[in-house]
Amino acid sequence: MNVAARMARLGTESAFEVLARAKALERQGRSIVHLEIGEPDFDTPAHIKEAAKQALDAGWTHYGPSAGLPELREAIAKHIAETRGVPVSPEEVVVTPGAKPIMFFTIMALVGSGDEVIYPNPGFPIYESVINFVGGVPKPIPLREDTGFGFDLALFEKSVSPRTRLIIINSPENPTGGVLDRGQLERIAAVAAARRIPVLADEIYRQFLYEGEFISFLGLPGMRELTVLLDGFSKSYAMTGWRLGYGVMPTSLAEHVTRLMVNSASCTASFIQMAGIAALQGDQTPVARMVAEFKRRRDLFVDGLNRLPGVRCARPRGAFYVFPNITGTGRPSSEVAERLLNEAGVAALSGTAFGQHGEGYLRFSYANSEENLRAALERMRPVFERLAR
Ligand code: PLP
């Protein structure tokens, strides 16, 4: 079939492509350590699964309101007030199947043809993909290793123009694990507030912060009415396959995002939303346990990577990714990632899967067992030794 021209502008998330290739190698009998996909290896906590089972039995199996069940929107509003210190109303919450649709819907609703969008690079690839899809003009801001993968603020300020319609930030960040500090966030907020530019603050990794305190964009001066906060259940509660996320935004935008839900998914699965209430209101110790375990794995993996020839890895403060510099190998990132998969059976992503400023880096997810992380380090050593020769 001939597809519409706009499809040529839609990108992808190569984690899913590498996963498919790694699975194909496994079907041929190869052993693969999966460090490509960003999902906790932990199981969803039992009380959340139980709530979903009960909801199914109680008949939460029908269509619900497009913006989400009032019970869940209320629970999310309360959760945001508690965790961000900013009171919000349930009318400002839109529930979606996973948090990803909030990116798609926000960009669809705010960005027209020729409008500019500022976003991090390397960054989550869907930002750039959707900006291009809607005919927007991508204005990537490089994240630099020497500043802990923070925004290049001088370049950021230069990139803002009268055509800037949206700024996207993600902290803690995928793929670098970088965290924007208060000074950086406040400067971004000051520019956005002065020019009345909306900010999509992707806070999906809020809980995965290993040092320092989390600062939400929503609470920064002037940002209450300009922020679209994105969060969800996938990462914090190990619920990637459930598909449950949300956005918190001014009601004037929530109306349009809800209409995009009406035109696409209709609503998020009702029994899954009921499980979401249990996640927010139930025992939070499984989250803390998982985060503590990830911190241990981060240290183990960063130390191991730094012992490999040609590799230099900063210790990220958040998320569950490391973004080692491999320029010491003298080879392009995509080639190194390819060789790690084929020669070592370790699935990782080329830094360029996250934009042009990812060249010279690889991304590994360390949301995997200690045993697998140690095995990956051992398997990769001969490849890096060969590359160093
Ligand atoms: N935002 C970032 C930065 C992510 O890395 C991801 C998932 O990988 C998401 C949002 C989307 O999460 P969800 O699974 O809830 O759609």
In this predicted model, what pLDDT tens digit does every residue of 30-68 receive, in sequence order?
Answer: 999 999 988 899 999 999 999 999 999 999 999 999 999
Residue 147: what pLDDT? 87
144 and 257 in a single domain? The answer is yes
Query: Which of the listed residues 281, 304, 334 is the one where a domain comes to its end?
Result: 281
Among 94, 95, 100, the mutation site with the greatest number of ligand 1 atoms within 8 A of its Cβ is 100
Residue 384 CA to ligand 1 center (angstroms) comes to: 31
What are 89-148's pLDDT values in tens digits? 999 999 999 999 999 999 999 999 999 999 999 999 999 999 999 999 999 999 999 988
Residue 13: what pLDDT? 85
80 and 229 in a single domain? The answer is yes
367 and 250 in a single domain? The answer is no
Residue 15: what pLDDT? 85
Q: Closest residue (by CA) to atom 5 of ligand 1?
A: 174
Residue 329 CA to ligand 1 center (angstroms) comes to: 31
Residue 151: what pLDDT? 86
> Going by C-beta distance under 8 Å and a sequence separation of 6 or more, which residues neighbour residue 194?
none
Residue 231 resides in a domain:
yes
Atom of ligand 1 lying closest to residue 173 CA: 3
Among 235, 273, 349, the mutation site with the greatest number of ligand 1 atoms within 8 A of its Cβ is 235
Residue 223 CA to ligand 1 center (angstroms) comes to: 22
Query: Domain total for the chain?
Result: 2
- Nearest CA to 173 out of 143, 130, 197 is that of 143
Residue 139 CA to ligand 1 center (angstroms) comes to: 21
Residue 227 resides in a domain:
yes
Among 204, 205, 230, 244, the mutation site with the greatest number of ligand 1 atoms within 8 A of its Cβ is 204
Residue 99 CA to ligand 1 center (angstroms) comes to: 6
Residue 75: what pLDDT? 98
Residue 290: what pLDDT? 96
Residue 298: what pLDDT? 97
Q: Which CATH number covers residue 237?
A: 3.40.640.10
Query: Which of the listed residues 281, 316, 337 is the one where a domain comes to its end?
Result: 281
258 and 358 in a single domain? The answer is no
Residue 12: what pLDDT? 87
Range of the domain at 25: 5-44+285-388
Residue 228 CA to ligand 1 center (angstroms) comes to: 15
| pTM to 2 decimal places | 0.97
Residue 321 resides in a domain:
yes
129 and 39 in a single domain? The answer is no
Residue 32 resides in a domain:
yes
168 and 221 in a single domain? The answer is yes
295 and 274 in a single domain? The answer is no
105 and 156 in a single domain? The answer is yes
311 and 384 in a single domain? The answer is yes
Tokens of 329: 């190998």
325 and 368 in a single domain? The answer is yes
CA geometry: angle 62, 72, 46, nearest 5 deg: 85
> Which residues does ligand 1 sit against, CB inside 6 Å?
38, 98-100, 124, 170, 174, 202, 204, 232, 234, 240, 245
97 and 211 in a single domain? The answer is yes
Query: Which of the listed residues 281, 307, 335 is the one where a domain comes to its end?
Result: 281
Residue 317 CA to ligand 1 center (angstroms) comes to: 18
Residue 169: what pLDDT? 98
Atom of ligand 1 lying closest to residue 15 CA: 8
Which parts of the chain have pLDDT scores under 70? none
Residue 113 resides in a domain:
yes
How far is the C-alpha of 306 from the C-alpha of 89, rounded, in Å?
A: 47
Q: In 10 A of CB 187, how many CB atoms? A: 15
Residue 40 CA to ligand 1 center (angstroms) comes to: 12
Q: Which CATH number covers residue 342?
A: 3.90.1150.10
Among 37, 176, 234, the mutation site with the greatest number of ligand 1 atoms within 8 A of its Cβ is 234
Residue 276 resides in a domain:
yes
145 and 208 in a single domain? The answer is yes
Residue 50 resides in a domain:
no
Residue 145 CA to ligand 1 center (angstroms) comes to: 22
